[in-house]
Amino acid sequence: GPLALPVDRQPGATRTLHGARVSVRLPDTAAADIRRLARDAQATVFTVLLAALDAWLSRLTGETDVVVAVPVAHRQRPETRALLGLFLNTVALRVRVAPTLPFRALVDAARTAALDAVAHQDVPFERVVDAVKPPVKRGDEWLRVKFAQQFDARHDSVLPGATAVATPGPDLAARFDFALDFTDDAHGIELVAAYATDCIDAGTARAWLDSYAALVAAAAHEPHRTTAALPCDASPALRQPRDG
pLDDT digits (tens, 9 = 90+) for 165-219: 655 555 555 688 999 999 999 999 999 999 999 999 999 999 999 999 999 999 9
Looking at residue 72, what is its pLDDT? 79
pLDDT digits (tens, 9 = 90+) for 52-73: 999 999 999 999 999 999 987 6
CB 217 within 8 A of CB 30: yes
132-148 core/surface letters (b: 16 or more CB in 10 A; e: else): eebeeeebebbbbbbbb
The number of beta carbons lying within 10 Å of the beta carbon of residue 230 is 22
Provide the whole-model pTM: 0.80
Do the strands 19-25 and 88-96 form a parallel or antiparallel pair, or are they unpaired? unpaired
Average of pLDDT values for 154-162?
62
Closest C-alpha to 64, from 91, 100, 108, 92 = 100
Is 33 a residue whose pLDDT tops 90? yes
Q: Which domains does the chain have, with CATH numbers?
A: 19-229 (3.30.559.30)
More confident of the two residues 101 and 155? 101
Do the strands 145-149 and 19-25 form a parallel or antiparallel pair, or are they unpaired? unpaired
- Exposed, middle or buried: residue 32 (CB in 10 Å: 0-12, 13-18, 19+)? middle
pLDDT digits (tens, 9 = 90+) for 84-124: 444 467 888 999 999 999 999 999 999 999 998 777 555 55
DSSP state of 230: S
- Exposed, middle or buried: residue 68 (CB in 10 Å: 0-12, 13-18, 19+)? buried
Average of pLDDT values for 66-83?
67
